[in-house]
Amino acid sequence: MIRAILCSAVAVLCLGLTSFDADAKYTPTTQESPAQKAARLRWWSDARFGLFIHWGLYSVPAGEWNGRTGMAEWFMDETMMPLAQYERFAAQFNPTQYDPDAWVRIAKDAGMKYIVITSKHHEGFAMWDTQATDYNIAKRTPYGKGVLKPLAEAARRAGLHFGTYYSIMDWHHPSQHGAQQNHRNPTLMHPELKAQYVAEMKAELKELIEQTDTEILWFDGEWVNWWTVADGQDMVRYLRALKPDIVINNRVAYLRNDMEGMDRGTPVGDFGTPEQQIPPAGFGPDVYWESCMTLNDHWGYSRADQNWKSPQDVVRNLIDIASKGGNYLLNVGPTAQGRIPEAAVERLDATGRWMRVNGESIYATQASPFAHALPWGRATQKSGRLYLHVFDWPADGKLHVPLRNTVAHAHLLAAPDTPLKTGRDANGVVLELPAQAPDAVASVIALDVSGPVVPLPEAQ
C-alpha cells in the first residue's frame, strides 16, 4: 500500500496525472473457475515460503557512491548517474563465486519451496543472454553468460520451483525518460515508442519462459502512467497463451494498493503482493497473496546495511502470514561476486532448523479458524488438524484454546511420542504443557479434534 501510494503519488503530483485507468471496465483475462485457479496455484499456495533474490548491476556499487551509503537497487534514481557511466559497472560484474547449487541449498535448507530472482530490475539490465537488447550480462560483462537458467536447473534438481521478477518500468530503455527533475522514477513513455517497448517486453518474457521454464512472473514497476490495466490484461492473456499454468502476481497491472484487484473481485494476475508488511487479517480461502520482505533494509546488496531481522522475526513473520493464509517471500541481495551475505545465510539456516521440526504446521495449511490472533500465538489448520504456534509459553503450564470441540489427541511437534493432557473449562480447551517450551521462538502443538473446528468467542 505504502509502495503504490508513494509511487503513484509521485507520479500524480509531478505529472498532474489523472490518466490512470485503474477503474477501467474489468474484463476477465480467463474464464477459469475458482476450482481451476486453485488447482493451478496449488503448488504455489502449498509452498507458503519462498526466496526472493535481487541481483543486478546495482550490486557492484553495493549501495555506496562518493561517500554516500544506504542505497541499493535504486542507485540509478538516487544518484542520477549518467547512463554511460552506470553502464560501466557491467565491466566490473564478474560473479566468479556464483554457485547456483549453493544458493538453492541455502533456500532449501531454510525450508523454502520456490525462488524468484530479478531477471530485469528498473535498471533495465537483463540477467540472461536476451536477443532483445545487448544490455545484458552475456554481452556486457566479463562473466559472459546468463545466470538464470543455471539457477532454474539447480532449483529443479533440488525439487524447488523457479520464478522470475520483471520490471515494467525501465530506466535505461530509450522509450522512457524520467518524469521528474533529478529522478528517474517514475518514467514517462515516448508515446510513439510504446508499441516497440511492449513488443520487446513480450519477446524477453517469451525467452524467459522458453529458456528457464519460469513458473512465476513477478511483475513490478507497474505504477507508471503509460502502463494501463488494459495493458496488464493483454499481458496476462499473452503469457497464458505461452504457458497456461504460469502464476502471475497482481503487479502486472497498475495498483492503487498491494492487494489491488484481489480485494475487489477484479484481479488482474493471480495473487496480491503486500510489501514489507503483513496484512492485519487474511482475505478468505479464494484470495491468494504473498508478503515480500527484505532480510535487512534493502532488496539489492547494500554493503553498509547490517540491520538484519532476527531468526525470531523471520519465523514469527512466517507463522503470522501462514495463519492468515498467505505466502512469505523473503529476500536476499547477493554481492557482485555472486555470494549471498553470510548474515543472511545465518538467519536462513536458523529458520531452516525451526522448519525441520515444525514445517508441517506451515506447508499446505489453511488460515487459522479463529477470527483473531490468539493471545499467546497463532494457529493454522490442515486436514482437520489444528496447529497451535505458541510464542508466549504459559507460566502455569495451562494453554487455553477457545474451542468448542473435544480433543482426540494433542502433542508437541518437538515431542510427537508424548501425548499432552487435555481438559476443558468455561472458555474451551485447556492443554497441560511441560514447564519448558521446546522452542523459545515458537513451539507448535498438533491438536486433533472431532468434527469440524468450532471456535468459541475468545474469553473476555
Binding site for ligand FHN (CB under 6 A): 3, 73-74, 220, 275, 292, 299
Going by their DSSP bridges, the two strands 290-294 and 247-248 should be labelled as unpaired
CA distance 282 to 259: 11
Contacts of 244 (CB under 8 A, 6+ apart): none
Which contiguous run of DSSP H or E holds residue 194? helix 194-212
Give the residue nearest to ligand FHN (CB).
Answer: 3
CB atoms < 10 A from the CB of 199, how many?
11
Min CB(116)–ligand FHN separation in Å: 10
Distance from the first to the final alpha carbon of the chain: 33
Min CB(318)–ligand FHN separation in Å: 17
Min CB(284)–ligand FHN separation in Å: 24
Torsion of CA 430, 433, 413, 402, to 10 degrees: 20
Q: Considering beta carbons, is residue 131 or 277 the nearer one to ligand FHN? A: 277
- List beta partners, residue 217: 164, 248
CA distance 15 to 17: 5
Min CB(291)–ligand FHN separation in Å: 10
Min CB(283)–ligand FHN separation in Å: 19
Closest CA to 379 of 393, 391, 396, 395: 391
Angle of CA points 199, 205, 211, to nearest 5°: 135
Q: Considering beta carbons, is residue 118 or 405 the nearer one to ligand FHN? A: 118
Q: Considering beta carbons, is residue 45 or 118 the nearer one to ligand FHN? A: 118
Give, in order, the Cα–Cα distances in Å from 385 to each of 11, 327, 444, 448: 48, 20, 12, 5
Q: Considering beta carbons, is residue 220 or 305 the nearer one to ligand FHN? A: 220
Min CB(440)–ligand FHN separation in Å: 31
Q: Considering beta carbons, is residue 56 or 338 the nearer one to ligand FHN? A: 56
Beta strands in 90-206 (DSSP E): 114-120, 161-167, 176-180, 183-189
Q: Considering beta carbons, is residue 331 or 358 the nearer one to ligand FHN? A: 331
Q: Considering beta carbons, is residue 74 or 391 the nearer one to ligand FHN? A: 74
Q: Considering beta carbons, is residue 218 or 393 the nearer one to ligand FHN? A: 218
Helices (H) and strands (E) counted in the chain, each on its own, are 11, 17
Min CB(163)–ligand FHN separation in Å: 13
Q: Considering beta carbons, is residue 252 or 292 the nearer one to ligand FHN? A: 292
Q: Are 175 and 196 in contact (CB under 8 A)?
A: yes
Cis before 186? omega within 30: yes
Q: Are 289 and 251 in contact (CB under 8 A)?
A: no
Min CB(165)–ligand FHN separation in Å: 7
Min CB(69)–ligand FHN separation in Å: 17
Contacts of 51 (CB under 8 A, 6+ apart): 106, 107, 110, 112, 114, 115, 116, 329, 330, 331, 332, 348
Q: Considering beta carbons, is residue 333 or 377 the nearer one to ligand FHN? A: 333
Which amino acid makes up residue 250?
A: N
Min CB(286)–ligand FHN separation in Å: 24
